[in-house]
Amino acid sequence: MTHSIDVPTSIPCSMITKLEQAPRMVLFALAALAVSSSVAIAQILPDDERHIRWHQDESVSIFRRGTGPAPVTVATEGIEQSERLMTLDEAIRLTLQHSEVIRVLTGVSAVSSGQTIYDTAIATTPIDQAKAIFDPVFSANSSFRHNEFPGLNGLGTTILRGETGGNDTGVLLSDKNTLGGTFNMGFDNAWDNRTVAGFLDRNMPTASLSYTQPLLAGLGRDANTAPIVIARLQQEQSYFFFKDGMQELVRGTIAAYWSLVQARTELWAREQQEKQLLEGLEYAEVRRKKGVANAGDPAQATAAYANIRANVIAARANVLQREAALRNLIGLPPEDDGRVVPSTPPTRDQIQFVWEEINQTAQSRRPDLIELNLILMADQKRLVQNRNLAQPQLDAVALQQWNGLNGRILNGNRLSSGLDENSSWTIGVNFSVPVSLRQSRARVRNQELLIAKDRANIQQNLHRIEHLLATSLRSVDQNFLQYEAFRDARDAAKKNIEVRLARYEYGLDGEIFLNYLQAVSDWGNNVASEAQALTAYNTELASLELQTGTILETHGIRFVEEQFSSIGTHGRCFEDECYPRDLRPQANSPRYKDSGEAAEEAFDLDNLPMRGKTGKQLP
């Protein structure tokens, strides 16, 4: 890009006269300044943006991760995979190891919550920023001056050029205390190197001490330290927000673990149904060929077998999806040439809870409730601050100054007057107030309404927590009693299969093949329902711990504050200091049993009786 300057071809005569009177050096300086200014402005202000610009995709996305094995699906065949037994304690431990970003279980997947282990450490930096207002401030300045000015001689007949010059230097140390007062200590010196006031050259040093103390607005330790207290409360909010996220992460891991146990148990039941119905289909077909049964029996068996095959595919897909959700939560890749097999059996013990105890525990331990109380405390501090600022400004001011003078007079002698020989002082008050204090009083009113809102939110949260606890208790008892009912129904369904199979094989009157098919379906559904109820019971126990705010403590999880070196108060000229970096949870203490086998084996997975087990031979 090139830049050009338009030069006029004609200049008015009056302008030529004025230009001829100006020194040539001034003209050259003005021309150079104009050229340089034009170039500088052109560089600062580029052309208009006439196109949409963006980076190339590859130049921005610079982070990469190695690609693992392709995910296994229900259509994958011929792959031999090892099984990795994993206890629930190990699953939680892996989750904690990979919890740099907190994930949340959402159905059969896990998503990032946006929370990280660095959030609490980041929230500590505003505390130091708020404290900085009370740090002493040192300032220094030094400027040289040279002035030339025209003036008349003593007779008033000639214009003479006058000159002044010298140096002005000053240093100032200022410090504000927590009462709102400001202390200043300064030293200034004015040096003149030209004849002035009878001196050929002179120095005018000045030392000063001053103190300003607010008496209304700005007075008080509470009002002045409020920003620090608020920053600390916000840092605590960040901690409990992080703790709340970690509690949900642990609960999600437990829920995903038991969901995988339930899915694997249901898959076993569906595969047993498939084997049973295939055997029944073959048996019905043989009986039809021998003329013992009609064509309706094989048709019914074929339809039932086709349906159960679809159910088996769905159950296998559910196992893969539930395992993928667990892998996502605990930080494992989608595939690693092995299957994760839970080895912790679900508890079958019915746990009783005391309503009053869990209610009181939740009201004092839930992180989200603690956050609301911290928000209230911070708003109360802001109210103190705003009420203070809603007062008129009345400041007491005191100034003590020491003035000196020394220099060389016209006859060449030097005169000097020390700082202690000439002093001055000032004391008084400064008062200012807006006529209505409308803005500051509106802030007070706004803060009072925010506090009322905070209290309403706390009461609503207490109300919500009580209902959540009640719902959780109902679910705990419901799931346990349903588990016992489905367990009995499963045993009854198994006996029903044996009876129906025997009656059908013996050809007893009134026994139809459909009864046997229905018995097999009932048994599979009861096994799946029993597993679902028991795993839901175990999941709900963890949810109840979450509702009371004790799930981390009951699993032996503690937070550890890690440190890192960074620039400190004194800057890069000194050694870096240690500051909080993140808040990593420690490994959990062992709590759950390791059965040493697949967890679904705890459901007494005995195979169903097959044809011929009744002692009856084919007719």
CA distance linking residue 215 with residue 133, whole number of Å: 19
% the chain with pLDDT above 70: 89
pLDDT of residue 97: 93
Which range is least confidently modeled, 278-292, 320-334, 368-382, 496-510? 496-510
CA distance linking residue 258 with residue 266, whole number of Å: 12
CA distance linking residue 484 with residue 477, whole number of Å: 11
| Between residues 454 and 521, the one the model is more confident about | 454
Give 36-83 pLDDT, tens digit per residue: 666 555 566 567 788 888 877 777 777 877 787 888 888 887 777 889
| Between residues 441 and 17, the one the model is more confident about | 441
Kindly write down the DSSP assignment for every residue of 109-148, as one continuous string.
EEEEEEEETTHHHHTTHHHHHHHGGGS-EEEEEEEEEEEE
CA distance linking residue 107 with residue 321, whole number of Å: 10
Give 223-246 pLDDT, tens digit per residue: 999 999 999 999 999 999 999 999
Give 126-157 pLDDT, tens digit per residue: 999 999 999 999 999 999 998 887 877 767 67
Give 248-286 pLDDT, tens digit per residue: 999 999 999 999 999 999 999 999 888 888 887 887 788
The mean per-residue pLDDT over the stretch 473-481 comes to 96
Among 133, 135, 134, 163, smallest CA distance to 147 is for: 163
Among 521, 530, 523, 495, smallest CA distance to 600 is for: 530
- Of these ranges, 156-165, 287-296, 522-531, 541-550, the one predicted with the greatest mean pLDDT is 541-550
CA distance linking residue 302 with residue 294, whole number of Å: 14
Task: Report helix, strand and coil shares of the chain as percent, to nearest 5.
Answer: 50, 20, 30
Q: Is 2 helix (H, G, I), strand (E, B) or coil?
A: coil
Handedness of CA 481, 483, 488, 492 (dihedral sign): positive
pLDDT of residue 34: 63
Which range is least confidently modeled, 27-36, 45-54, 301-310? 27-36
Question: In which band, very low, low, confident or very high, does the pLDDT at 6 lie, cut at 50, 70 and 90?
Answer: very low
Among 257, 429, 424, smallest CA distance to 327 is for: 257
pLDDT of residue 509: 55
The mean per-residue pLDDT over the stretch 304-328 comes to 93
Chain centre to alpha carbon of residue 579:
19
Residue 250 CB partners (closer than 8 Å, separation 6+): 92, 95, 542, 551, 552, 555, 557
pLDDT of residue 21: 46
Residue 612 has pLDDT above 50, yes or no: no
Residue 618 has pLDDT above 70, yes or no: no
Residue 4 has pLDDT above 70, yes or no: no
Mean of the per-residue pLDDT values of the chain:
86
pLDDT of residue 17: 42
Q: Amino acid identity of 91?
A: A
Give 359-418 pLDDT, tens digit per residue: 999 999 999 999 999 999 999 999 999 999 999 999 999 999 999 989 888 888 888 888
Name the DSSP class of 133.
G
Our CA angle for 222, 239, 451, nearest 5°, is 45
Cβ atoms within 10 A of the Cβ of 263, count?
25
- Of these ranges, 157-166, 274-283, 288-297, 426-435, the one predicted with the greatest mean pLDDT is 426-435
**C-alpha torsion angle, residues 515, 521, 527, 533 (rounded to 10):** -110
CA distance linking residue 387 with residue 234, whole number of Å: 21
Give 451-469 pLDDT, tens digit per residue: 999 999 999 999 999 999 9
pLDDT of residue 409: 85
Residue 185 has pLDDT above 50, yes or no: yes
Question: In which band, very low, low, confident or very high, does the pLDDT at 201 lie, cut at 50, 70 and 90?
Answer: confident
Residue 182 has pLDDT above 90, yes or no: yes
pLDDT of residue 37: 62
Question: In which band, very low, low, confident or very high, does the pLDDT at 619 lie, cut at 50, 70 and 90?
Answer: very low
**CB 258, CB 539: distance < 8 Å:** yes
pLDDT of residue 154: 67
**CB 359, CB 232: distance < 8 Å:** no
% the chain with pLDDT above 90: 58
| Between residues 165 and 288, the one the model is more confident about | 165
Residue 601 has pLDDT above 60, yes or no: yes
Q: What is the pTM of this model?
A: 0.83
pLDDT of residue 20: 44
